A = this chain, B = another copy of it.
Amino acid sequence: MATIKDVAKRAGVAISTVSAVINRSAPASQAVIARVERAIAEIGYMPHRAAQTLRSGQSRVIGLIVPDITNPHFSTVARVTERVCMAAGYMTFVYNTGEDTDHEMQIIKMMRMQSVAGLILISTRSDAAHGARLMAEINVPAVLMGSHVQGVPFDVITLDEVRAGQLAIRHLLDLGHRRIGVISGRTGVSTHEERLEGVRVAFAERGLRLDEDLVVPANFAEGEAFDAARQLLNRRAPPTAIMTLSILMTVGLMRSLVAMQLTSPRDVSIIGIDDFDWAAIMNPQPCAIAQPIVEMTEVAIATLLDQIETGKPPSGRRLLFEPKLVVRASCAPVLV
Residue numbers of A with Cβ under 8 A of B are 46-51, 53-54, 59, 61, 68-70, 72, 75-76, 78-79, 82, 86, 91-96, 109-110, 112-115, 251, 254-255, 258-259, 277-278, 280-283
Contact = CB atoms under 8 A, between A and B. Distances in A.
26 contacts: A48-B113, A48-B115, A49-B50, A50-B51, A61-B114, A68-B79, A69-B82, A70-B75, A70-B76, A70-B79, A72-B75, A79-B96, A86-B110, A91-B93, A91-B110, A91-B114, A92-B93, A93-B93, A94-B94, A251-B278, A254-B280, A254-B281, A258-B280, A258-B281, A282-B282, A283-B283
Contacts of A283: 281-283
A115 to B, nearest CB: 6
A107 B144 CA distance: 27
A46 B112 contact: yes
4 closest Cβ contacts across the A-B interface?
A: A283-B283, A50-B53, A254-B281, A50-B54
A69 B282 CA distance: 21
A5 to B, nearest CB: 15
Nearest to A136: B44
Nearest to A53: B50
Contacts of A112: 46
A51 B113 CA distance: 10
Kindly name the residue among A76, A78, A113, A258 whose own CB sees the greatest number of chain B CB atoms within 10 A.
Answer: A113
B82 A115 contact: no
Contacts of A113: 46-49
A256 to B, nearest CB: 10
Contacts of A95: 82
A121 to B, nearest CB: 16
Contacts of A78: 69, 94
A255 B282 contact: no
Given A50-B53, A69-B79, A70-B72, 9 more contacts: A61-B114, A69-B82, A72-B75, A78-B94, A82-B96, A91-B114, A251-B281, A281-B283, A283-B283
A325 to B, nearest CB: 21
A24 to B, nearest CB: 19
A80 to B, nearest CB: 10
A319 B50 CA distance: 34
A297 to B, nearest CB: 13
Nearest to A139: B1
Contacts of A47: 113
Nearest to A137: B44
